[in-house]
Every structure is written in structure tokens, then in C-alpha cells.
Structure 1
């Protein structure tokens, strides 16, 4: 296929899944790519650590059957056949009581809700995506929408705590469109996938693909300066120049290293971000076998339990359990010593599961990430920053650009695909020249042309 990218020099900032997918796609299209990552590992939230001769992810991940963009990427690098698909189950922990939450019969026995509320919850949940069609959900508060369809008590008892755990104090103001899109990805899906051996293999395969295309991958290379002219200065003092620079860095991080001219050119979108504190337990016994269980009003700081071994299997005879708390990176919890969090959360986990004892906890590790989930304001589609930074060779491919798709590896890969396609169209011989054409394509994407948010 003819491409306008052949021979173009591109520097990609950030070695998370979006940056890796960008560099992979650009290399396949003939561009000369250099990927720069400040940390000592690639993968972003998919980084890992060694545990008893195995690699284990710091944060939990899964593949959904609807993740078309991610599955296509897995296929291209020869990893798709490693994905093992398994049925998974969900639980709920409310006021310290454990409930299965998978079938209509489970819902009918869900005593935190009154009998008529259980029926209403089931019917509304079944119809919720259909109920959102034709509504301007981007300008409708999640709280207003869900209160209206579920009722005040279901919202206050169940839904508000769950949304609050995800988005913090502004949880009710998040556009309902975000939830509607999430339903499109996960609704009625009980089967999930996980690559045999973990995501380490996918990240390695992407690196090999980039380097086979002639690209360069740099880790442990923090960027200290990016100029409006496209010069990238590394902490080592080296300066890299290119025809285009694509940044996958969170917008606050990019602003902190931009020169004055670039800072003025960057879109004035000040999104708050939720970080996460995540503890990974290595247990000698399983818990309930529920892959995912929200925890509501149960005396724990963490608000969700992921039994990863229910999907990915045991690691050296140990059952992996992740617990997490989304929180601002400036919060007291985020700044607290990891060892103190590990000790306190171990006590809380043991208290939450009556059959679990401290002796069952073989090891626990705490990991944190500062920029996990943007907290989108109402009407964000009209405020969403363009991909092209006008008057510069810089393009943006960040979590601020995946909305209304759910922040995930799939949406990040989809964004990378769209940005590469946009850049190719902008420079293809015979097409209109320059950023004006690229900006027009971005406008088309943001207005829904070509279903840009399919995730």
C-alpha cells in the first residue's frame, strides 16, 4: 500500500501501549522511528517485576472479546494465539457481606436491595444502553441519568459509592456518555482473555517489531525539554530532531517539559487525573473465585478486589489478588509509605474474607501510578484537544483523546491507529499539504466521521 510516511523521521514520546503501537505502525509504514521512554521498562501500566523466576504485572489487565483493535495488534506480532479465553464471574461485597452477582437468580437474592429494587435494577441494567440512545449523554451528568432510571435509593446505596471510588469527589459530574461506552465494551460479557505468560511477551514482541523495521527503542531516557520546533532533549543532554514528534505523555507531564513557545501552542485543557494505589497479594489459597468484586461500605480503603488467578492461573502455586484505590496523586494515601499500606491492607483483606488468615498471605507488593484515568467534564467532546498542535510538528495521542471510549489498552491501540492514519493522510503525495489538512481531519474525527471512537 502506498504511504506518505516512508522515510519520515518520527520521535515517539512514551513507551506505554499507545507509544508502542504507534512506533510499530509507523515502522511498518516505512517511517524512521525512535521511541523514547523515561522509565527502565516499556509497557506503561503494563510494566512488570520478577517474582520467583516469573514476570508478574504490577497492575491487572485483561482482553475483552470486543477489543478489536488490540486483538488485531496481537495478531500482527504473533501473540494472539497465546490469548487464553476463560469464563469469569463477578461478586459484590456490600457492608461486609459477600454476594455472587452473575445471574438473575443472584440478583433476586441480593439482599442489600429490596425485592422491587432488585427487579428494577435488573430490568434497567438490561436496557440501559438502549435507554441512552438519542440522548446527549456527553452533556448529561451520570448521577442525573442513573438517578432517573434506577431511582434515588439504588443510586445512593450502590452506584454512588462505586462511581465515587473510580472518579473521586467529582464522580456524579462525569458525563453519562462514558458509562454508555463502557457498557458497549463490557455488557453481557463474561468471557475474558489473558496472554499465556503475561503481557511481557506482547511488549517484547512489539519492541522486536519496531527494531526489525529499523526503529530505535530507548528506555531510561527521560525527556527534559520539547520545543515548538520539534527538538527533544533527553536527560543525557542528547538532542533528537525529527519531522514529527508524537507525544503519548499525560498533558500535565508534557506541559512541564515544553518550552515557552510550545506551552503557548498546547491546548488549554486542564483535565484532572485520578491515580491509583494498587496492592498485589500472593496468597496460598483462593478467595471466592470471582474475577471482579466491587467493595462497598465494608471498612476497607480499597474498593475493589480482582482475583487475577481466576483468569490467568496461579503463579508458582500462589493465587494473585489485586486490590486498588483510585486517588489523586497528591492525596495522603498516594504519598504514604508502601510498607505501611501493605500492612494495613493485609489486615483489611484478612478481615474481609473470614476464611483467610495472615498465614495465607505469602507476599504483598504495592505499586502506584499517577495518571490512570482522566476525569472528564460535561460537554468534553466540544473541549477535547485536537491531535495536531497547530503551528508545530507535534501530535498528541493521550488518554485525553480516547474519550468517550473507555481508557484501556484497546482504546489506546485504536487511538494509535487513528493518529498514524491521520498523519499518513496529511503527508500523502497529492493530498492537501500541512497542518491545515491534518486539522480538518481531526475535526472530522471529533465530529464522529468514520466512527473514531470505536473501541
Structure 2
């Protein structure tokens, strides 16, 4: 039997990679630093229900994720519902779904509304045949929508996602996002929440002979041409013939030894983190799943209402709303105390929803994540790092590798399939060599 593969990181990419490998007979040890698996899919308990710390949904175009759910016997447990979009501009919440909604959208002049509707319908087609990877989002969208739409609507939305570098993000990002969403108003959510998916992946890995360990932070990672040595926080070492790291590249450089660090790709992407506040309300807001919040005096710049997608029963007959702000992990907001954020954002939510009172807010939770969205430079397709680290048996599977696809569970599952396929190819190509050379040992 081939030796054990070590997977560092228990988010969806690490779990999906380990799942693929054990299904093909390769023994795997998965190491997760925190006490929970799932990465951005981690959860907490509220009224005896498990709730995701960060919002998620399944799109009908998420073919890789849906195929994985099929393997786990969970695809039929995804419940699909039509969802709507709103827009909070200057403190006023407006629907933003139909041609009539657009015609009534008074923050834009009538001519701009008509232009916005026509261009939006044709946007995917207008990007065909263009080198959008080397075209600034601002240049592309301003040319199509005009200066006023860009400044009043699009620039604040992209600034909310990518910070001060928003205008320089490749237009290819938006084009790919439109391809994923395909103008679909239908979204899905698995019964039992995303915890049910994480639990099923762990069960699959362990049933196939794999080992899943949590609360085991990696202190050091070394790689030679023939092996990988992982040193854990308590000094334990795990040696394997191959390893897969799903750790974000900035964090990976912090644990790689000097020789390995010199071989890592010299791509130093800035990352946006996120501050996410969850409001459990006694009554719904607008009924719109997604609503950007622009020029409304709030720190948060987007709202996601989960209840239209999931129903209120799983939250104890309450309505769950996520308010988020993407921001650098070095920002003042990111470093601010969660209780202070909770109080201020509650006041801000009440200020833009006049039908909501403090008595309607039943529970507030704040969570942060430091590495959520890489900010890609122009021309990143040519500079995107390989998943293989030259001269080592270490493979990388991070959000820096999914571009031009949008960062999502679906793109992470696709990447997991690519990385697992490379390992399986090597194992099948030279089974005798693998059987003798692959080894794994653990010692304190």
C-alpha cells in the first residue's frame, strides 16, 4: 500500500482532497489547527441548532460541489428556493430584481437606469474575446456603464469587496462571477446546514482508513525531494512521502523552514479578511437574500438574510441576518473588540431599518476571518503559481490557486480534485516505487 499523505488544513479544500484520496485507496492524515473542521464553514450553537459563522449558499452552476454532495449522499438534501436582491442606498432599502425595480431606482437618472439594464443583460457577451485578465475592472465597467453609474453604484460595491485596490482588480473576476451566478435567482442550502456536509466528509475519510485530527497546529513544515516532515505544536513530527497544504500562502511562509520557503512561489497577494456580524431577529427585514449597503452611514457594506433561503425554524423561529465588511486583518476595524462592533453595528442596522426596534434583536454574534479573498493583480493568469512546489513532494491548494474562478466552496472542491488527481497519477504511474518509498511515521 502507498504511504500516507498528510493534508494540512481542514477546510473544504482539505476535506475534499482527503475524501478523494481515500476513495482511491491512499491513506491520509488530515491536520487541522482549530478544534473544528470546515474553515469558513465552521459553526456555533444557538438554541440547540448549529449555525454557520459565515454565510454560504449553493448555486445551480456549482457542478463540482454538487457532484461531491452526490458522492456523500447529500445532493437530494439541498433545498432550492428563489431568492431576491435589494439595495440600500442613502439609508433607503429598495428591491433590485426586475426591470420595474430598476426603472423605479431613483438614485440613478432614467437614462442611466436604462443603460444599466441593457448593459447588465449583455455583460457576459460583451466580455467574450477580450483579455479581461489584463483589463482593469474600472476601465471595463466605466466604459460600458458610464461615469455616473460607476461612481454612484459600482465603485462603492467593488470597494466594499476589495478595498482601495478595487479599481485595479482584473475584470475577469466579475466576468467569472457572472458565469457562476448565471443571472440565477435560485439558491440552495443543505438540510442540516453546512455542518452536515463537513460531518459527512469526515465520516467518509475515516471510513476509508484516513485519520482526521483537530486542535493540532503546525509549527514547522519541511520538505526534501523525497519526503515532507510536519512538526506540530507539541513537538510531535509526522513524516510522509507527500503532503498537501491548504494554508493561505502568507501563513504558509510563516511555518515553512528556510529551504522550503525559498521554493515557495514568489507571489505575495494581499488578502481581504472579513468582519461578520450575525443578528438573530424576531421579525424579518426585507426578505431579500442579498443587499449591498451604500452611503448609508454604516460600517458594514452588505446584508445577507438567510431566512428566505433556509426558513426560520432552524434558528428557533428567528430570522438570521449577516452583516459584513471585507477588510484587511491589519485594519482598525478588524482589531476592534467584538462586543464594541456588536453594539455599534446593532445601532447602525436599526438606523437603516426603521421598522426594526432594539426589542426585535434577540442575539448578536461577531466573527472574523483573516484570509478570505485574495486581491489579484492584473495579468495574474500568467503569474498564478503552480500547485506543485518544485523539487519537493508538497502540493498547494489555496485560494490563490482558484483564479480565475470565484472563491467559493465549488472552486475549492474543483481545486481539490486537481490536486488529488496529481497525487493519484503519480501513485498509479510508478506503483512499485511508491509502495517502497512512501512511508509515514509519528513520534514524539
TM-score (norm 2): 0.95
SS at match of 1:241: strand
1:189 alignment counterpart: 184
Deviation at 1:97, TM superposition (A): 1.3
Aligned to 1:451: none
In structure 1, C-alpha distance between the alignment counterparts of 2:94 and 2:3, rounded to whole Å? 56
Per the alignment, residue 348 of structure 1 pairs with 348
Q: Hey, what does 1:317 align to over in structure 2?
A: 317
Q: Secondary structure at the match of 1:60?
A: coil
Q: Which residue of 2 aligns with 1:168?
A: 163
Alpha-carbon distance between aligned partners in 1 of 2:271 and 2:15, rounded to the nearest angstrom: 22
The answer for the alignment partner of 1:366 in structure 2 is 366
- Name the SS of the counterpart of 2:287 in structure 1: coil
Query: How far apart are the structure 2 equivalents of 1:416 and 1:104?
Result: 40
Greater relative contact order (Cα < 8 A, sep 6+): 2
1-side partners of 2:344 and 2:338: how far apart? 10
Pair 1:150-2:145 in alignment: yes
- 2:29 maps to 34
**Is residue 106 of structure 2 the alignment partner of residue 114 of structure 1?**
no
Report the Cα distance in structure 1 between the residues aligned to 2:101 and 2:125, rounded to whole angstroms: 23
* Cα distance in 2 between the residues matched to 1:357 and 1:97: 17
Match of 2:429 in 1: 429
- Aligned pairs for 1:195-344 within 5 A: 195-229=190-224, 230-314=228-312, 315-344=315-344
Gaps of 5+ in 1: 1-5, 435-455
Residues 341-377 of structure 1: per-residue CA shift (max 9 Å, x gap): 0000000000110100001000100000000000000
Mapped partners of 2:120, 2:182: distance in 1: 9
Deviations 1:85-128 (A, max 9, x none): 00000000111111111111111111111111111000100000
**What TM-score, normalized to structure 1?**
0.93
How many Å separate the matches in 1 of 2:211 and 2:424?
20
SS at match of 2:272: strand
> CA–CA distance in 2 between the matches of 1:187 and 1:210?
33
Count of residues in Structure 1 that have an aligned counterpart in Structure 2: 428
For 1:171 and 1:200, the matched residues in 2 are separated by 33
User: 1:430 deviation in Å?
Assistant: 6.3
Q: How does 1:49-64 map to 2 (within 5 A)?
A: 49-64=44-59
Distance 2:2 2:430 in 1: 17
Q: CA deviation at 1:8?
A: 3.8
In structure 1, how many angstroms separate the alpha carbons of the residues matched to 2:377 and 2:217?
31
Structure 2 unaligned regions, length at least 5? 435-444
**Cα deviation, residue 422, structure 1:** 2.1
Measure the CA separation in 1 of the matches of 2:430 and 2:202. Answer: 33
> In structure 1, which of residues 1, 4, 9 is the aligned counterpart of residue 4 of structure 2?
9
Are the counterparts in 1 of residues 78 and 191 from structure 2 also a CA contact under 8 Å?
Answer: yes
Q: Deviations over 1:197-249 (max 9, x none)?
A: 21111100000000001000000000000002310001121100111110000
1: distance between equivalents of 2:352 and 2:418? 44
Counting only pairs closer than 5 Å after superposition, residues 414-453 of structure 1 correspond to structure 2 as 414-429=414-429
User: Could you say what the CA RMSD is over the residues aligned between the two structures, in angstroms?
Assistant: 1.2
Q: Which among 72, 78, 86 is matched to residue 81 of structure 2?
A: 86
CA contact (8 A) 2:21 2:424 kept: no
Q: Does 1:398 align with 2:395?
A: no
Q: 1:12-37 deviations in whole A, cap 9, x for unaligned?
A: 00000000000000000111100000
